[in-house]
Amino acid sequence: MPAVLEQETNSGRGRSAKRPMSRFILSLYGVSLFIAVLAVWATVAWLLPTKHRYLFPSPWLTFSTLYESMPELLVSTASSFLILAPAYAGAVILGTVWGVLVGGSERLRLIFIPFARVVAPVPPTVYIPYAIALLPTFRSSAIFIVLLAAFWPVFINASAGTLAVPEQHRDNARALGFTHFEYLRRVAFPAALPFIFNGMHVGLGMAFIMLTVAELFGSTSGLGRFVQYYADYADFPRMLAGILYTGLITFLSMTGLGLLEKKIIFWPH
């Protein structure tokens, strides 16, 4: 038996030693992909006729323009996050609470799920003109649109995660004398957290997409407005710099959410 345990321990150490190596190799592949994309970008920009190069600026010109535009981009980022932060926070809170309630109640599922199946697939972009016309300010209408876009992924995953709780856990909660809301708070919600974070990741991506689209319609500032403004004036290096910067901000936000998930969900799932 000790020999078997020692063998299992050594195999576990071997697997744990291989994981950092495999992650390092994958990181090298990721860096190689970025280098390859930059090389193709630079080659295409160099091969284009001179009169068309303004439409497809080189990486050097784009990155230098990005550096020059940083003060304006930082102001645009602050303006965008004044919309994104409250909208996304509201979507996470509402989607989680309502999703857990619906997932934990058969009566609520029968009432709300058919409605959700009709409304959730509707692209939030169709509401933008109406929201801008109906709500008093552009910011309030943009917050509503972004909240709506991020709400559905969180709600759907929260309700699915609550519904996926094993029946044994529900029976144990009843045996311990938990009320329905105690069961939802102390059993269903923790069990649904991996699902909820999946919805939060999708919702954050949707929130950035809808934020940019909304800013294209009527905003006077923000990352989407930055791109649209310089596209209107055919300043393509600055426009492309804005697109790359927006992608970087989105990537950093998604990475931060992933780190938060690892910190909160510390158990295997």
Judge whether residue 37 has pLDDT over 50: yes
Instruction: Report which secondary-structure segment, H or E, holds 222.
Output: none
Q: Which one-letter DSSP state was computed for residue 58?
A: -
Q: Where are the alpha helices (DSSP H) in the chain?
A: 2-47, 59-68, 70-103, 106-119, 128-134, 138-163, 167-175, 180-183, 189-218, 223-232, 236-264
**pTM value?**
0.82
For 167-199, the pLDDT digits (tens) are: 888 888 888 888 888 888 888 999 999 999 999
Tell me which of 4-13, 35-44, 74-83, 180-189 is least confident. Answer: 4-13
pLDDT tier, 100 (very low <50, low <70, confident <90, very high otherwise) = very high
254's CB contacts (< 8 A; 6+ apart) are 201, 204, 205
The answer on pLDDT for 11 being more than 60 is no
* Inter-residue contact 134 to 140 (CB < 8 Å): no
In Å, what is the CA distance from 208 to each residue of 64, 229, 247, 264? Answer: 25, 18, 10, 23
Q: Are 87 and 173 in contact (CB under 8 A)?
A: no
Cα distance between residue 263 and residue 252, in whole Å: 17
Q: What is the pLDDT of residue 50?
A: 66
| Tens-place pLDDT, residues 113-147 | 889 888 888 888 888 888 878 888 888 889 999 99
Per-residue confidence band for 23, with pLDDT thresholds at 50, 70 and 90: low
Q: Which CATH superfamily is domain 55-264 in?
A: MetI-like (1.10.3720.10)
CA torsion through residues 10, 16, 22, 24, sign? negative
How many Å apart are CA 157 and CA 261, to the nearest integer?
Answer: 15
Rounded to whole angstroms, the Cα distance separating 254 from 87 reads: 16
Per-residue confidence (pLDDT) for residue 48, from 0 to 100: 72
